[in-house]
Structure 1
Amino acid sequence: METGSAPQPRSASLVLAAAALLLLMAGGFLLVRGLQPAPVSAAPMPNETFALPAESVPDPVPSSTPMVSVDAGIAQHGPGPASTEPGQRPQIPTGPLPDNSVMIPAVGVQAELESLGLAPDASLLLPADVDKVTHWTGSAPMDASDGGILVAGHVDNADQGHGALYWMHTLHPGDAVYLTEAGVATRWKVIRMETFVKEKLPDWAFQSAGGPRELHLVTCGGPIVTDSAGRGSYLENVVVTAVPF
């Protein structure tokens, strides 16, 4: 006669079933935990900074090239890092340029401009929607021959994800930027990529009318730090400067 395992008491079976259920729940919890994004502790920073004379940076396209093209020769892409290969970075938007917008084809940016000024503490106000960017109201006119224009946006947001300028830190010298307002379209080429501790933007970022004709694009970067009130903020600003071409 074969002798199998002795039947277990009912109480022991219930204990084993409960233990198995707990293990299953724990495994599911660990799986869900593993699928959660890691908490953000820092915003991206440029691999290298640069500051070049405008005349040493070739125009991204000939100045006679129309500002839009139905076929730029390079596939357009959504937001993402700029290619390290110059021939793979699009420099001309496809389709009509939307009004009141900034476009950076090399990183797939097309963001609406929102005219905003300064807060009571003199900090620059930013849109609540991270897909939009601030066009500082103190900027020089879009069609002026001199003076600076300041555009700034969130790098990201815990609830909304990447901001419009998230990939700005990957731009290269000569990459094209297009800016439109009230029917006026302008185009620029990148000549500087700089970083600054966030206590204060350089005065030249707020140069307004007069002075060099420059476009300054600003977003956050670096590690998160906590102020005395317990509020978290990125430590640095990433600033890209471009000039007309």
Structure 2
Amino acid sequence: MTVRNRGALAAMAVGAAALTVAVLVACGSQPAEDVGAEQAADLASATPSPTAGGPSVPVTRGELPSGAETVPPTRLVIPAIDVTATVNAVGINQKTDEFEVPPSVDQIGWYRYGPGLEADTGSVVIAGHVDSATQGKGAFWRLRDLDQGDTLTATGSDGKERRYRVVAREEYQKTKIPLERYFARDGKPRLTLITCGGPFDAEARRYRDNIVVTAVPA
């Protein structure tokens, strides 16, 4: 899974232990049509967060929204697609400039340079592999099947369960995903789940697109 900086955005790589911030893990089947794109856009701030000339997706810890101590997600349950997965805090691999994700495809990663579950603004990003040539289907294998109204529960390090409702599911070519929207620290509170989709490029050994699911507190 890969999410790569535009200029300096972090990255996520498919099938490896990394996830690039513009190219995330995927599955080959095409999802249904996009739904809720306008709702997802409306959740973001009208103007991007100031980055002082830096990347839209921070690669080192910066100032988070003021308030309580950050609460990382530790478990994600999505009944509609039979997901119960451990969530690990992930950062940037300094050698590869990639956003690292757990090597086991049944686990997923929370972007720890963004907001935690306690934040009342911004996008909490969780991403993971869909499949692996050696491990088979990953936790987000069926992420593309989620639809508006589906619910999920994220449990934080504080033991509190927080329920969310899906409002949007979108597919982008990896070079066109609006990273500043999905990794924003401002705007309304939301949970952003990312994996890959679209056709598989056998030569590059990665999928062409990203699947992005947006959920709001229920």
Which residue, 69, 72, 77 being the options, matches 1:103?
77
Larger Rg: 1
Q: Give 1:168's aligned residue.
A: 143
Return the letter of the residue paired with 2:114: S
Give the letter for the 2:207 counterpart.
Answer: Y
**Aligned-residue offset at 1:232:** 1.0
Matched, 1:46 2:45: no
What CA deviation, in whole Å up to 9, does each residue of 1:68-108 have, x standing for no partner? xxxxxxxxxxxxxxxxxxxxxxxxxxxxxxx8111101111
Aligned equivalent of 1:194, options 141, 151, 170? 170
Matches within 5 A, 1:1-16: none
Report the Cα offset of residue 122 of structure 1.
Answer: 5.1
TM-score, structure 2 as length reference? 0.66
In the other structure, the counterpart of 1:33 is none
1:43/1:155 contact within 8 Å kept: no
Question: Does 2:199 align with 1:223?
Answer: yes
Query: Given the two structures, how large is their TM-score scaled by the length of structure 1?
Result: 0.59
151, 167, 184: which one aligns with 2:160: 184
Paired position in structure 2 for 1:232: 205
Structure that is richer in helix per residue: 1
1:206 to 183, 206, 209: 183
Measured in 2, the distance between the counterparts of 1:113 and 1:160 equals 18
The total of aligned residue pairs comes to 156
Change over 3 Å in CA distance of 1:206–1:123 after alignment to 2: farther
Q: CA deviation at 1:201?
A: 4.0
Q: Give 5+ residue unaligned stretches, structure 2.
A: 1-26, 41-72
Code of the aligned partner of 1:179: A
Give runs of ≥4 in structure 1 deviating > 3 Å.
Answer: 119-123
Alpha-carbon distance in structure 2 between the residues aligned to 1:180 and 1:218: 18
2:115, 2:134 → 1: CA distance? 33
Amino-acid identity (%): 33
* Higher percent of residues as strand: 2
